Structure formats: C-alpha cells, structure tokens
Amino acid sequence: MEKERFTMLLLEPGEIFFEDYSVQMRKLDARLSESKNWMEGRLKLCSKSLVFVNKDINQPLIKIQLKETTFVKQCTSSDDIAGNMLSVECKQHVEMLEKNILAPYRFIHQNTMFYFCFNYAKIEDCLPQILQLHRAASLATAEQNAMIMAIVHSRQSRVSFDTSWLEDLYEQVVSEIQANKVSPLVVNPGRVLLTTSRIYFQPYNNMDQHPVLKIQLKDIRNIIKRRFLLRRVGLEIKWMRQVDNKIEHLFLSFQNQDDRDQLYENLLKQSMVSLETVPQNQMTMRWQNGYISNYDYILYVNSLADRTFHDLTQYPVFPWIIQDYTSTTLNLNDINVYRDLSKPIGALNPSRLERLKERYLEMSDPKFLYGSHYSAPGFVLFYLVRKYPQYMLCLQNGRFDHPDRMFNSIADVWKNVLVNMSDFKELIPEFYDTSNAGDFLANSYGIDFGYRYDGTKIGDVQLPPWAKGPTDFVQQLRNALESDYVSQNLHHWIDLIFGYKQRGFEAEKADNVFFHLCYEGAVDLDTIRDINDRHGLEVQIMEFGQIPKQVFALPHPKRLTTVPNLLYNQTLVTLPETMTSGNPCVKEKLINFAELVAFQAHKDSVTSIVRKNTTSNEIISVGQDGMLKLYNINERKLTHSVSLSLLSLSSCISYYTLSQRNILVAGSWDNTLIFYDVEFGRIIDVLQGHEDAISCLAWSPTHQVIISGSWDCTAKVWHGYTSGSKIKPAECFIAQLDHDSKVTCISISRDDTMLVSGTEDGELCLWNMDSYNLQATIKGHVCRINAVTFDKQCSRVISCAEDKVLSIIDVRTNTQIYSVSLESEPLTLTWIGTFLLIGDKDGKLNVWNHQGAIFVSQMQCHNGPICALAVIAESNLMITGGKDRKVIVWECHEQ
C-alpha cells in the first residue's frame, strides 16, 4: 500500500528518490504540544526532500522540502532509542493524499519539528547523505542541481550490477553502463547491463515494479536514438512482452552522447537483435497511397522528429483540424469547417497576425513572431489534467491551474488560440485516438478543480453541440483527420512543423518564426560551463517548448487523390514504429506463380522477350547467340528459330504496320536494327542506326515510331517500317537524343507523352514525346541503370541499377521520393496489374506492391540472372528469360 501511495510524481519534476527507511514519526509545531503517539511509516530520502509515508492511508503523506529545513541533526541522548533518532526542523511542510484522495497539496506555513526514530537502520549510516543533500538545498538552483548530480554519480560509481539477477548463468556480459530510466516528469537512476541474450535495467532504489527489468534481445522491435533535455543522450527501446504480446517501451538517458552511442552500437551488433525497420521514404510512399492513415503517419513523423510519449518536453504534436465548434451538426464534406493547414496557428487570424508583425518589425535581432510555442509540457498537461492530474500537481508544485484558465471548453480554447496574442498551441494525439474513447475529456476521478468565475463547478470538458459525448467527439475529429480535404492538405502542415518551412527564409515567408532558443541546435548546452547560465537556458527552453527536429528539407509530397477505402476508424497502433507492414486494416493482395512450361532454347543468355502480337499467346525471344526464337505457349513448343546476327542481340520489339504486317525489330551489337517479318519468316531490312552497339528499343503506338538506345551515348527516333521498300536512314530518322554516357535502357509512358532513358553513369533523362525535348536530367543512381519503367499513372519513374537500389522519381518535381536497397542486383522490370515484377542477378523474381511500397514475395526462377521479363496480362502469364539460356512461362494467380 505504501508503494502505491508514494510515487516519484509527488516530488519535483526530475527529482531523484534514493532510498527509504522504516521509521516512527511524531511532530511538534509552534501551536500544539508534542504529539503523544508515534506514527508508523516509511521515510523516503529524495534529492530535494524527505517524505514520510504514514502506514495509515487516511493520514496524509508529509513532504519536507530540504530548502525549507532549518536544521537536520541526530538527537543526543544516552537512551538507545533516542540516540537513533533524527530531528528535523522546517519552516514549511506539505501534506499530500489525505484519505488517499488526489487533491491540491496543503502547504503548512509554520515552524514544525519532526522526529524520526529508525526501526532498523542506524542513523550514522544515513545522516551524512541527508546532511549532504541539505547543504545542496541551500545553494542556488543551478548549483544545487550540479551538486545533486555529483552525489548521484558518486553513489552510482560505487555500485555494480548485481549479476545474481542474470536469467542465464551462461550469457556473456557485453557492457555495463550508468543510465536513467525516464518517464514523464520522472528520472530514475540505475545501471544497464547488456549481455548476449538480454538487456537489464536495475534501478538504485526500490520504486520500480520489478527489482530488475529484463528484456530478451529477440523481443526488441526497435531502437531509436532520442534527445533528452535538449541533449542527444536518449535511447528508446521498443519491445514485445511475451506474456501478453503487449508492446512496451524503455526510455533511457545517459550521462553523455558517447555512452548512449556505445550501447546503441553494441545492441545492433548482437545477433539476436532483429529490428523492424522501414525506410522513411517507403513510409511516406505508403501514406501517399493510402496504406497508412493520416493519424499513424503524423505519429510516425513525430517519432522521426524525436517526439515521444515518454517525454513531455518532446510530446507528439497534432494539428487543429476543425474550426467549427458551435454548430449543431458537423458536415465533413463542407470545406468551411476545416482549418487552413497551410498556415501556422498564429497566422490564421489576419488582424492578430498584423499586430504580431508590427511588433516583429520593432524588435532587434533575433526576431520572433510568436512569444509562445505550439507544444510545451504545460500545454500537454493543460489538455490531459483530468486523465493525469498527478502530472499537473507535479509540474505546478502541488497546485492545479486557476479554474478559469483550465481546459473547460473546446470552443473557448479554439477561440483563444485564434485571438490571444500569446496562445498558439496545437493539439495532442489524444484528440484523434479513438482507442481511448476521449477519456481525457471527462473528470472520471471526480477531482475537485474548483469553481469558475460564474460559480460553475469544473467537471467534464464542454464539447461542441455536434458531439454526443467524448467518444463521438474524438471519433468525429478522427473522421475529419482522415477526410479527403485533410489528406490533400496535410503536407502543408507537415512542411510548417517538420519540414522546409520550419526555419530560415521559408519560415519567414510562411509567418512561422518562433523564439530562437526553441530551435534545435540554437545552443549547445554541453559547451556552456557556467552552471547558472546553463540552468537558465534549460528552464527557458523547457518551459517555452521545442521545435521538432527537422525531418524534411524539401516540400513534402502530396497524398494521392485516389486511395484505397481503408477502415480509418480503427486504431492501428499506439506508437508509429509498429507500422512495419502498412495498415493492418487492409488485406494485402498476394500473387503466386506456377511454372507452365520451360524451353531450353538459346545457346547463350536470353536478352529480351516480347509478345508476337497483341492477340496471340505466341512469344519471341532473342539472345546473345544472335538467334530469334518463336514459341507457341498453347501448344507448349518452339515453332521457329532463325539466326539474325553473328553478334549478340540485345533487345527486341514487335508491332503491326498499317498494312497489318507483324514486324519484329531486334537491336544488335553490330550497331544495326534488324527488321523481321514474323508472318513471312524473313529479314526485311537492316538499318545501320548507330556508331556503337544498340542496347535497348522501345515502340510508341501513338506516334508509330521506334526509339533505339545505344552505347554511342544517343537515343534515336525512327519512323516504323510501313511498306516493302528499303529503309533509308535519312528518310526514317526523326530525332537524336544526346546523353553524356552510354544509354542502357529506355521506356515510354503508357499515355505516350514521355520517354525516360537510363545511362551507364546513373542518370535518368526525361524527354517529351511530342517535341523530343529534354525535360529533366536526374541523378537517380551512382552507377549503371539496368532497367527503367513508368508507373501506371505515368506520374513516377521507377528504376533499378547496379548499386542494388530500386528508386522512384516523381515526374512533376523531378525528385526522388523513394529508394530501397535490394538483396541482389535488380536487372529487369515489368508490370502485372498493380504488382511490379523485378528480376535479379541471383535468378529470383521479386514481387512488389508499388502502391503499398511493400515487397510481397520472392521466388527462385532461374539458375543465374533473370535478364528478360514479359507479361501476357489477359492470360495471367509471365515469361522469364535467363542467363541459364532458358525461357520459362509461368501462370499467375492473385489471392
């Protein structure tokens, strides 16, 4: 019962609890005679106070702040009992939790003498540390904190991890280090021990639920470096508790960044640690395509920006979405109910912004528009005071806020952030978290918060007329957050809070300038030697709030206009790091392949496969042996074989002429384009098209042109063959597209408006198919690009290269929006429905869901590299060609 009553939240924020003693206590004050009865309880020794916890739960806890203490000494007497007694005189003490009711603390402003008789401990053993802390309390706050830290460090350095707590005697110790376990407003020092099997945290006191926290390394899901109190000394470990499969978090802080980084690196080296990691650009792409809700994506971005639920100074920040809190109904299809997400809170009211700008112009540097922040510990607890009243009492020295300044009405708070010259706060995740049903809005504990100026007793938060209750209110806000309007505009708010409009010139243009000390990197606390200066800066920044770490340096991409119809109303996760496979509300489509027939056709590597025509199930392959092969899939046999060149054939295309002749064009290493009439089975003509080997070909049905890419650093555009006459280069040639290095691959968009070419030095060139003008040159890779294609919407270019990277470029902005490293070098790309098929150097086919940015499956197809891919969509057939000289036909099945 004692441990349940006493928590570290009864202390000052960040105060440290050292140890406790079984004692008897009685007191003598200025008005009363000495109490006759000794009271049984425990005395808690803390860094800034002594706390007596009475065994009788109806009696209050008594906190004696050491700074209010006149003296602390051992009673002098020949009596053994009196000789083991501590006397403490103070000018003021605090009574808390009387009758075990959470209420504002009672401050007793009178001289009082307390006597503590130790039941088991010897006063000689504990008095020196009490006196040492009492001396520290007489110093200025900054010096007191420094002395306390020195005391803590001294105590910690004399203690080692108790290895008797090891779960397995055979596990090997990797490292041991001092660290603090951190939770909101609470810091608990201890030791961290890393072994080859587990990580342990052993606190120095007995306040934690377990004497030693044990986490198996195989249960760790994620490890994230964090800032803590403006320093890069935090580490957050996410792990799965095996008993109930519940996600838990351990947030640690260290003495310095080197200690933190050392433990982080040692953790990653352990073979049993297997982390869930998804690249940032992949998560963004999943959000863009609707596989992650707006709620979860904002949580994810907050996490990237060092915002965590375990640190009130870095609590996740969410936007105000709705601006109508007075109507009886809420129409989410009406854009007028939404807040303008392209502006910070301070710029929503033009008249207030004008007054702020006038003040800004009169300031000396460094200037700021807003003298208050959008997220700070006080603002977080302003919203959460009904759910976590103990946090507010801790933060505000045992008091709640004045009743009229509390979170009493949603409409009043919104009005205040629009008109008040010093109120610009945004919201917190709880406003959109449907899993907790808006419990923070109700005074469930029946706390007496007092009365407002009009005599109204403070109870639940007053909701807008359109909300039926807390659950409905949060649900409607969540629906608004996931609405089409917000989805199309959320990237603007991300730019302001986490992106390129967060600081500098763009922030000034966006009216998004805050006090300079709240920006990351504005001051390096570790370089400030004067402890008073350092403490002053810490307090100022902590109370003011901190700008999140900048995550995006370029404009954040917009969400796609059409996204899958997800069940957004279901809460997916509690923390963003758990989103490793997209939205679990979405049933991912799966695809599998069954081998239909295999042909051992060529004498060397297969280089290209093409369908004979758009209506048949016949396919054609060419290879490095210079041969062309024709296969009938229905009859499962090779029907034709012809030698087209003495040198390797690199590529082929097939098309119908206006006279309905089926023409195949093959590119050869002897610099020629070979035209072959498929129906008549003969070479029609040979075009000497380039000065070096032809590497790739493409056909544009709209423009009726052939594009050939070559090692001579050009791509050329030719009229297609239309009659029986000889092909004359001068007459067929249309345009030449010059490059800086060898052209290795080309592709035309489905709408026939754009051409993309890839080169040996990793450049992607975008060309206009009407004018053949160069639209953009993008450095997509650092080495040879193997294959390139457009997505189905013709809005992105997907490329793969020798560096094993799959990259996606946004055509509109010419910027890379996604990249991922593959296990093996990808060689060829093609589409089957919404799935992208990737053939790699190890002979494996990788199936990738482009919309969800998720790899679906992998299958071994060839004994060696897959060099060619083709698809017959209406027959659900895929054809692969490999360096093993095989052409294999596969049946595809979606699940």
Report pLDDT digits (tens) over 531-561.
777 777 777 766 778 899 999 998 998 887 5
Q: How confident is the model at residue 571 (pLDDT cuts 50, 70, 90)?
A: very low
Euclidean distance between CA atoms 753 and 393, whole angstroms: 65
pLDDT of 580 above 80: no
What topology does CATH give the domain 287-304+314-368+403-561? Neurobeachin; Chain: A, domain 1 (1.10.1540)
Closest CA to 281 of 821, 719, 756, 767: 821
Report pLDDT digits (tens) over 725-757.
667 777 789 999 999 999 999 999 999 999 999
Q: How confident is the model at residue 264 (pLDDT cuts 50, 70, 90)?
A: very high
Q: Is the dihedral of CA 819, 824, 827, 829 positive or negative?
A: negative
Please tell me the least confidently modeled range out of 24-38, 129-143, 774-788: 24-38
pLDDT of 4 above 70: no
The rounded mean pLDDT for the chain is 88
Percentage of the residues of the chain whose pLDDT score is greater than 70: 93
Between residues 284 and 485, the one the model is more confident about = 485
3-state secondary structure of 25: strand
> What's the confidence (pLDDT) of residue 530?
74
- Give me the CATH code for the 159-277 domain, please: 2.30.29.30
CB 799 within 8 A of CB 783: no
pLDDT of 490 above 90: yes
pLDDT of 877 above 60: yes
What is the mean pLDDT of the segment spanning 119-128? Answer: 90
Report pLDDT digits (tens) over 210-219.
789 999 999 9
Report pLDDT digits (tens) over 776-811.
999 889 899 999 999 888 888 999 999 999 988 888
> What residues contact 33, with CB distance under 8 A and at least 6 apart?
none
Report pLDDT digits (tens) over 363-410.
998 899 998 899 999 999 999 999 999 999 998 989 999 999 999 999
> What's the confidence (pLDDT) of residue 205?
83
Between residues 277 and 463, the one the model is more confident about = 463
Report pLDDT digits (tens) over 463-489.
999 999 999 999 999 999 999 999 999
CATH 2.30.29.30 fits 2-156, yes or no: yes
Report pLDDT digits (tens) over 493-524.
999 999 999 999 999 999 999 988 888 776 77
The answer to whether the 2-156 and 159-277 domains have the same CATH topology is yes
CB 252 within 8 A of CB 181: yes
Report pLDDT digits (tens) over 166-195.
888 788 999 999 999 998 888 888 999 999
> What's the confidence (pLDDT) of residue 318?
98
In which element (H, E) is residue 805 found?
Answer: strand 805-810
Q: Where in 353-466 does DSSP place strands (E)?
A: none
Burial zone of 200 (CB within 10 Å; 0-12 exposed, 13-18 middle, 19+ buried): buried
CB 746 within 8 A of CB 698: yes
Q: Which of 411-425, 648-662, 822-836, 843-857 has the highest mean pLDDT?
A: 411-425
Question: 318: which DSSP letter?
Answer: B
> What's the confidence (pLDDT) of residue 589?
55
pLDDT of 587 above 50: no
CB 434 within 8 A of CB 475: yes
pLDDT of 839 above 80: yes
> What's the confidence (pLDDT) of residue 283?
86
> What's the confidence (pLDDT) of residue 592?
80
Percentage of the residues of the chain whose pLDDT score is greater than 90: 62
Pairing of strands 774-779, 785-790: unpaired
Q: How confident is the model at residue 418 (pLDDT cuts 50, 70, 90)?
A: very high
pLDDT of 637 above 80: yes
Report pLDDT digits (tens) over 653-701.
998 887 778 899 999 999 999 999 988 888 988 999 999 999 999 999 9
3-state secondary structure of 73: strand
Q: How confident is the model at residue 853 (pLDDT cuts 50, 70, 90)?
A: low
Can you say how many angstroms the Cα of residue 601 is from the centroid of all Cα atoms in its chain? 49
Burial per residue of 243-264, b for 16 or more beta-carbon CB atoms within 10 angstroms, e otherwise: eeeeeebbbbbbbeeebbeebb
Q: Give φ, ψ of 866 to 5 degrees.
A: -90, 115
> What's the confidence (pLDDT) of residue 35?
56
Q: How confident is the model at residue 567 (pLDDT cuts 50, 70, 90)?
A: very low
> Which conformational region is residue 660 in: left (phi greater than 0), alpha (psi within -120 to 50 degrees), or beta?
left
* Ranges of each domain in the chain: 2-156, 159-277, 287-304+314-368+403-561, 591-894
Q: How confident is the model at residue 817 (pLDDT cuts 50, 70, 90)?
A: confident
Closest CA to 878 of 863, 852, 859, 895: 859
What is the mean pLDDT of the segment spanning 235-241? Answer: 91
In which element (H, E) is residue 19 found?
Answer: strand 17-29
What topology does CATH give the domain 591-894? Methylamine Dehydrogenase; Chain H (2.130.10)
